[in-house]
Homo-oligomer: A and B are copies of this chain.
């Protein structure tokens, strides 16, 4: 209780009149412990009375478990990753862990992340991203790590979302509205989600008898500006698409702006549907039709898999939680139908 003086196991032991090891075993509910009920009560009382909390560093040193997970995202300000962090945090808390977070592109060297592992600061690493390659050092380290929302052919430890499925939902929504000339505003080159959404788009197009015209696919990074540029370019092509499936909701904000800028009305002249919902998506003008993905669940599954699987075993999971097409104002039947 005194500020500056920490209560240690020895203090509690003295207070309860037993040995330190007894306190430890009571607190960790050691199954092979046969203790007299009255002693246990006394121990618990002393713990409470002194406000004892085990020192994390000492415990970590002894047990080699920090109960800490490292989570790296490209950018905290990206709402997509904010959701993943939220989910991961909840799952971590459920198993008594905390999250050390970091942002920035996961560079090829990966040294900063591996260092956290090497220092024993974290028990495992969740790498959410991102366009970059998975460093070989990671694969060779033999330490617990997992890729989130991106997969790598040569590093099969990842959990991802059903990006193909999301693309299919979006395309089918547009097809059902009567669209045939459907463009794709794809994600950046090298992005794993981008290529899965693009292939989902192509597959869905073919399934509906619409050949995906390569002239109707254009790349943009996952930013509003990227979406703006790409959509501006797309609108210059003839004949113009009547609808566009945008791989990312932030790009879609820029895409809507570009349409507005070019005098193309959404949705009457152009329908727009994007992957990922946003808390304020329904308040945009026009309110955006989106495919809501289970991002928090992705975060959750990440920590679950990370903490429960053998670090050497391959992990390749697609989060099963349901996606949902949220119909709002940015999609409508084509005018010229």
* Residues in chain A within 8 A of chain B (CB atoms): 3-4, 6, 51, 53-58, 60-61, 66, 68, 75-77, 79, 82-83, 85-86, 89, 93, 98-103, 115-116, 118-121, 140-143, 223-225, 227-228, 250, 253-254, 256-257, 260, 279-280, 282-285, 287
Contacts of A77 in B (CB 8 A): 79, 82-83, 86, 279
Do A120 and B254 touch (CB < 8 A)? no
Given the known inter-chain contacts A82-B76, A115-B53, A142-B4, please indicate yes or no for A253 contacting B283, CB distance below 8 A. Answer: yes
Other-chain residue from B103, B115, B121, B284 in contact with A86 (beta carbon distance below 8 A):
B103
Count the copies.
2
Contacts of A83 in B (CB 8 A): 76-77
Nearest opposing residue in chain B for A67, CB measure: B121
Can you list 16 contacts pairing A with B, beta carbon distance less than 8 Å?
A3-B140, A55-B120, A56-B66, A61-B61, A68-B100, A68-B121, A75-B86, A79-B79, A89-B103, A98-B116, A99-B100, A99-B101, A99-B102, A253-B280, A253-B283, A254-B283
Do A279 and B224 touch (CB < 8 A)? yes
Contacts of A253 in B (CB 8 A): 280, 283-284
Given the known inter-chain contacts A3-B142, A77-B79, A77-B82, please indicate yes or no for A61 contacting B53, CB distance below 8 A. Answer: no
